[in-house]
Amino acid sequence: MRNYSFNLEFELLNILEGRKNRNMSFIEVKDLKVHYPIRGGFFNKVIDHVYAVDGVSLTIEEGKTYGLVGESGSGKSTIGKAIIGLEKIKSGKIIYEGKEIDRKFRNRRSEYNRNVQMIFQDSLSSLNPKKRVLDLISEPLRNFENLTSDEEKRKVSELLEIVGMNREDIYKYPHEFSGGQRQRLGIARAVATKPKLIIADEPVSALDLSVQAQVLNYMKDIQEQFGLSYLFISHDLGVVKHMCDYMFIMYRGRFVETGTKNDIYKNPEHFYTKRLIAAIPEVHPEKRLENKKRRLEIEKEYLKNEKKYYDENGRVFDLKKLTDTHFVAIKDEIMQNNGKGGK
């Protein structure tokens, strides 16, 4: 009885400690840059660079969902891959629980690799077609836990049930599943090590709308169950609105606007953000002409005032503070003329 009481007290202390630390950031990205060289000439020298990510910073807190939004080629997926170690960083820092992440922190069995996982856009190419589900989901477990074959089967079966799949599926191969089911397998594999952060790179973009909703709901349920954080990468503001607490709007390798969900949707300041919001499909047919007119007006105004939002080289300006949670990339004089800006 005494042991049971002690264990219960210990569990309660762990829960309270977890709740106390829930609002603390555990990953910081500082001035991250990822540049790709452009080569040319007779000697194949570097003549220029593609600035895929050009000086972005963000913090991630436990239990929250962050949306990284932008059009294709804006650099959002590159940020996710740089955080997990799939892209080489030119400069900047990634800090995990107070320690800067370098090569020794990225080894196969490191705590960082265990606590930061990724769900990829193309579920078919991210799953080895020659391996059964049992081996695919067990792979990350084998890096961090010494389980018997029976324990592995039991663990994988439990993970499949969490994402709404049958225990018997452990003996099947990836090609035997639909796109939505394969994406759920990717989620199960990412959750296997009980990570603190999952980077979800366009996890539902290739799925039908009904299947999208199903997968997103599973992701939300898993977040509540495990208390993990998401960095949700997407070009679809409608999907991000459903999932995220805080949003980063990205264009040309930089953040043009950041803020809470309400900041972005109810009070967008950057014209690129306004264009993205205007592009969200309207489900009511009677408002179709009205929305088309609004989109054309926004596009016309954007082309007229484009120079206010980018410098002479087309680079996005640095972020300026509007409120404690809302930041926008804009010239200082425009902020002053509009009577905006945080103190």
User: Per-residue pLDDT tens for 72-124?
Assistant: 899 999 999 999 999 999 999 999 999 998 876 777 678 898 999 999 888 88
So where are the chain's domains? 3-268
Q: Which of 306, 303, 305 is nearest to 316 (CA)?
A: 306
As a whole-number percent, the residues of the chain with pLDDT over 90 amount to 52
Beta strand spans in 171-330 (E) = 197-201, 229-234, 246-251, 254-260, 319-321, 327-329
Q: In what order do the strands lie in the sheet with 99-100?
A: 45-61, 25-40, 91-96, 99-100
The predicted-structure confidence for 210-255, as pLDDT tens digits, reads as follows 888 888 999 999 999 989 999 999 988 888 888 999 999 999 999 9
CATH topology of domain 3-268: Rossmann fold (3.40.50)
pLDDT at 311: 86
Binned at pLDDT 50, 70 and 90, residue 312 comes out as confident
